[in-house]
């Protein structure tokens, strides 16, 4: 556990000594703030964050590969991953530590975004139960997104390639649910169950369903496991 926390702490420091974390935070808050402002000025009469939550989860999907693309790819490219591998740390500790470092930045972004429900509280009477549900959903999505991004970064030594792989994987899980609206076969039912959009929908509506939480946690476990396997393969090459 000590090694995991040390790697995570080092990763957090790396974010804040480079412009990456600041750019990600600014992009997230700016885009979501713009959508929030449009909702206010186009005559939305209810303090309902459900539409904003759908926008926030998609922006999170765009931000996640940026935050994670350099987790392992940058170290591989610079050669510092070899030094890390010679230390008494396991591959699982490296993958989980870097994943937690990225998650810490994502959680910070979510904390910054709390300004939106606070504004709704000032101007209206929002349903805080629904808001809490939405943020639980965003956190669950973030766990899956960062795990997928960590896996993408473990596959290559090129940050741009890691970004492209991470973005492609996330968009696949986002868009696959659309197949469920084309027909009613077992395959389309599976597509809906695999969809990030479909599994997040309940959270945005104020419903915290165990099967949706399990979906995102399972996605994270699978991709973290594959990240560890990718690191193990680097040791044998």
69-73, 113-117, 233-237: which has the minimum mean pLDDT?
233-237
DSSP track, 175-191: HGGGGGGT--SHHHHHH
Q: How confident is the model at residue 115 (pLDDT cuts 50, 70, 90)?
A: confident
pLDDT at residue 105 in the model: 93
Q: Which residue has the higher pLDDT, 73 or 48?
A: 73
Q: Is 87 helix (H, G, I), strand (E, B) or coil?
A: coil
C-alpha dihedral (178, 195, 108, 97), degrees to nearest 10: -140
d(CA 199, CA 186): 17
Q: How confident is the model at residue 80 (pLDDT cuts 50, 70, 90)?
A: low
Helix pair angle (91-112, 20-41), 10° resolution: 40
In terms of average pLDDT, the best of 12-16, 73-77, 121-125, 169-173 is: 169-173
d(CA 205, CA 137): 10
The helix (H) or strand (E) run that includes residue 193 is: helix 186-194
For the purposes of burial, counting CB atoms within 10 Å of the CB of 86, is it exposed (0-12), middle (13-18) or buried (19 or more)? exposed
Q: How confident is the model at residue 234 (pLDDT cuts 50, 70, 90)?
A: low
pLDDT in tens, 25-70: 889 989 988 888 887 776 554 556 778 888 899 999 999 999 999 8
pLDDT in tens, 189-224: 777 788 898 889 889 888 888 899 999 999 999 999
DSSP track, 120-179: HHHHS---HHHHHHHHHHHHHHHHHHHHHHHHHHHT-S-HHHHHHHHHHHHHHHHHGGGG
Distances in whole angstroms, Cα of residue 2 to Cα of each of 6, 10, 90, 91? 6, 12, 12, 14
d(CA 66, CA 70): 8
pLDDT at residue 223 in the model: 96
Q: How confident is the model at residue 177 (pLDDT cuts 50, 70, 90)?
A: confident
pLDDT at residue 186 in the model: 63
């Amino acid at each position: 556990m000590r090694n995991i926390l040390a790697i995570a702490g080092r990763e957090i420091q790396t974010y804040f000594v480079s412009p990456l974390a600041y750019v990600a935070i600014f992009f997230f808050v700016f885009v979501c703030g713009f959508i929030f402002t449009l909702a206010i000025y186009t005559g939305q009469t209810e303090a309902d964050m459900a539409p904003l939550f759908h926008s926030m989860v998609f922006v999170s999907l765009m931000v996640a590969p940026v935050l994670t693309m350099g987790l392992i790819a940058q170290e591989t490219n610079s050669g510092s991953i070899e030094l890390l591998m010679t230390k008494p740390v396991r591959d699982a500790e490296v993958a989980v530590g870097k994943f937690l470092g990225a998650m810490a930045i994502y959680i910070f972004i979510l904390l910054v975004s709390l300004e939106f429900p606070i504004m709704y509280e000032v101007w209206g009477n929002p349903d805080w139960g629904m808001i809490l549900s939405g943020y639980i959903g965003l956190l669950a999505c973030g766990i899956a997104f960062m795990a997928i991004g960590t896996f993408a970064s473990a596959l290559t030594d090129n940050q741009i390639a890691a970004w492209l792989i991470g973005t492609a994987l996330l968009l696949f899980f986002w868009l696959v649910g659309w197949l469920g609206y084309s027909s009613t076969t077992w395959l389309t039912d599976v597509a809906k169950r695999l969809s990030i959009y479909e599994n997040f929908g309940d959270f945005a509506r104020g419903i915290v369903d165990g099967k949706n939480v399990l979906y995102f946690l399972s996605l994270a476990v699978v991709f973290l496991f594959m990240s560890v396997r990718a690191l193990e393969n680097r040791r044998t090459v």
